[in-house]
Amino acid sequence: MPDNRVVVAVDAMGGDHGPAVTVPAVLQCMARDADLEVVLVGIESRIQEELRRHRDVPVERLHVHHASEVVGMDESPALAMRNKKDSSMRVAIDLVKSAEAHACVSAGNTGALMATARFVLKMLPGIERPAIASELPTLKGHCIVLDLGANVDCTPQHLLQFGMMGAVLVAAMEQREQPSVGLLNIGEEEIKGNETVKQAAELLRASGLNFYGNIEGDDIYRGTTDVVVCDGFVGNVALKTSEGLAKMISTILREEFNRNWLTRMVALMAMPVLNAFKRRVDPRRYNGATLLGLRGVVIKSHGGADRFAFEQSIIKAVREVRNQVLQRISERMAIAHEDAA
Amino acid sequence: MPDNRVVVAVDAMGGDHGPAVTVPAVLQCMARDADLEVVLVGIESRIQEELRRHRDVPVERLHVHHASEVVGMDESPALAMRNKKDSSMRVAIDLVKSAEAHACVSAGNTGALMATARFVLKMLPGIERPAIASELPTLKGHCIVLDLGANVDCTPQHLLQFGMMGAVLVAAMEQREQPSVGLLNIGEEEIKGNETVKQAAELLRASGLNFYGNIEGDDIYRGTTDVVVCDGFVGNVALKTSEGLAKMISTILREEFNRNWLTRMVALMAMPVLNAFKRRVDPRRYNGATLLGLRGVVIKSHGGADRFAFEQSIIKAVREVRNQVLQRISERMAIAHEDAA
């Protein structure tokens, strides 16, 4: 029987809510997964205080690792990395580096997490830049989009590597051969797009990946391809714009259902339908972006995540370890390297 | 009393539906605006055939101008411009050039419209590149976003000019002093973003515009600024991604309300609320993008526009003429030129 045991280092202090969210989420995940061990990293007194609120803490699988500092959500990534060597974020990453944990999860400052993880863990061979990859819901299920903001200036080579990593991620997590890869562009014709994207399309076409070709913004949610490749500037704008639009739509929908006593009655009756709808598009289900390309599994949770959302990030970390995502990316890059040689 | 008369050249053949949509939309606009004259440009027999279906055609204000060719929606912009000198699109633009019309409206091929308009009309002094500007709904009302796809590689100078044109457009159309201008970026801190965007922020800060600073994707729909400036690649992805998400949300909402007889009953009762909601986010209300920076008012309607949506494009053209948008942009650019000299 294979060893199913996974150790996850959780930055207990990260995010808008800290231990009040991270600790209950960890306990929930551990209750469901008997092979999961967790190291809660952060200010010990704060973590213990939160733990005392819960019964049935699995003490033999749950460890607390003290870290005296916390990286602020708006702190400069460079300064945080240089000055806070005993932050919960840094120590959680250190545990991955020293192989005491298989993965780490943090809801902290994205820039600091990326900079620190890159500095401590280093890149996988053949990968020049890390990418932030996340699942988004589509009409057909979901897709993986990368990069969502780690890189503001990408070369065609970087985009090719994102495509390879994204394809391996989907293949590993969903046991699928040759997931389709689309390149985000502003027209389907090959003549469109800027120079970088044009050259990236050439590289992707010759890469042996199941390259679909250029896709447009609306193809993301249409589910046209399993993987969507773009530079971090474009990906981040697309993601944040989506968040803004979803927020606007739900606000207006709520306003209309709240207009008067009649519409509020209708809302009450429509509640089961509206809830079923909400469940299907709930962004919390997709919480947890993977920092791909590093020598270690690092998952970034949304800063504002609640318990349910933070649980999804932990589950994602565990699944990536069990599905050997890192090893599979390394193997894929080695093949690419041989092909190029 | 000022002369309120406006002449609009309408490409009757453009879009997915041609005269079946463009002609009724024109008649509807003319019925509401007694000072509006229209030149319907296209294959005369097709236009007359459609006109015969309608009563009360205001023959003294409605003219038909024959053009023998039609630009296909997927045709190469360069080839269309070179080879189809008698296309409805080209002739409508020619009428603006010769001052027989104040503005033109087309639902045809965006690339061909942009290339042809730029070739025929030329740029306003001080503007290097045209931009596609469109209104989007926000939680506070609406905003103007540009560029939405005319330029895939922008310099900081181009982005500055987009900011100036966008601000003038809002000021002119809504009688507002100093509308706020935001620069689409991936973080609010000044250190973030790529080099082009960083330099554009410097230029915008020194421009005398009411520059808000960097904004993120979610600020578009939040209504943080009146004008959102970005390069055409990013803007196009943001727009198309929004279209895709809105489509996904409405599809899933419809599916949930259609699940069984009970949910369909609820849908029936919720109809007035859902319709009120739909009216507020209806993209047809915002149909009609302005090709800004040209020596002429050119409005691009969505290719799939229905009658109501196409009407909005005509109304927009008329309002831009009456509010002297072109003249005001020229004046603004002349001031910028003097400041620089």
Q: What is the ipTM of this complex?
A: 0.90
Mean pLDDT score, B54-67:
94
User: pLDDT tens digit string along A250-309?
Assistant: 999 899 999 999 999 989 988 999 899 888 888 899 999 999 999 999 999 999 999 999
Q: What's the predicted TM-score (pTM) here? A: 0.92
Percent of chain B as helix, strand, coil, to the nearest 5: 50, 20, 30
Give the model's pLDDT for residue A57: 93
Mean pLDDT score, B305-327:
97
d(CA B173, CA B234): 25
CA distance B196 to chain A (A): 10
Instruction: Residue window 294-333, chain B: list those with CB within 8 Å of chain A.
Output: none
Give the model's pLDDT for residue A341: 67
User: pLDDT tens digit string along A201-256?
Assistant: 999 999 999 999 999 999 999 999 999 999 999 999 999 999 999 999 999 989 99
Domain ranges of chain B: 1-126+293-324, 128-285
Most B CBs within 10 A among A75, A240, A277, hence the mutation to make, goes to: A240
Residue B190 has pLDDT above 50, yes or no: no
Q: Which of these CATH numbers, 3.40.50.1970, 3.40.50.1110, 3.40.718.10, 3.30.70.520, describes A1-127+293-325? A: 3.40.718.10
Secondary structure (DSSP) of A242-306: HHHHHHHHHHHHHHHHTSSHHHHHHHHHHHHHHHHHHHHH-GGGG--EEEETBSSEEEEPPTT--
Give the model's pLDDT for residue A339: 76
Mean pLDDT score, B41-47:
97
Same fold for the pair A1-127+293-325 and A128-283: yes
B248 and A222 in contact by Cβ < 8 A? yes
B273 and A263 in contact by Cβ < 8 A? yes
Q: How many percent of chain B have pLDDT more than 90?
A: 79
d(CA B271, CA B279): 12
Beta strands in chain B (DSSP E): 6-11, 36-42, 62-66, 103-106, 131-138, 141-146, 180-184, 210-215, 227-229, 289-292, 297-300
- Chain B residues whose CB is inside 8 A of the A191 CB are 76
Q: Which of these CATH numbers, 3.40.190.10, 3.40.50.2000, 3.30.565.60, 3.40.718.10, describes B128-285? A: 3.40.718.10
CA distance B259 to chain A (A): 9
Mean pLDDT score, B181-194:
75
CB contact, 8 Å: B261 with chain A?
Answer: no
User: pLDDT tens digit string along B109-163?
Assistant: 999 999 999 999 999 999 999 999 999 999 999 999 999 988 888 999 999 999 9
- Pairs across A and B, CB distance < 8 A: 177
Residue B2 has pLDDT above 80, yes or no: no
- The CATH classification number of A128-283 equals 3.40.718.10
Give the model's pLDDT for residue B1: 44
**Which tokens sit at B94?**
């020619």
d(CA B29, CA B143): 24
**Architecture (CATH level 2) of domain B1-126+293-324:** 3-Layer(aba) Sandwich (3.40)
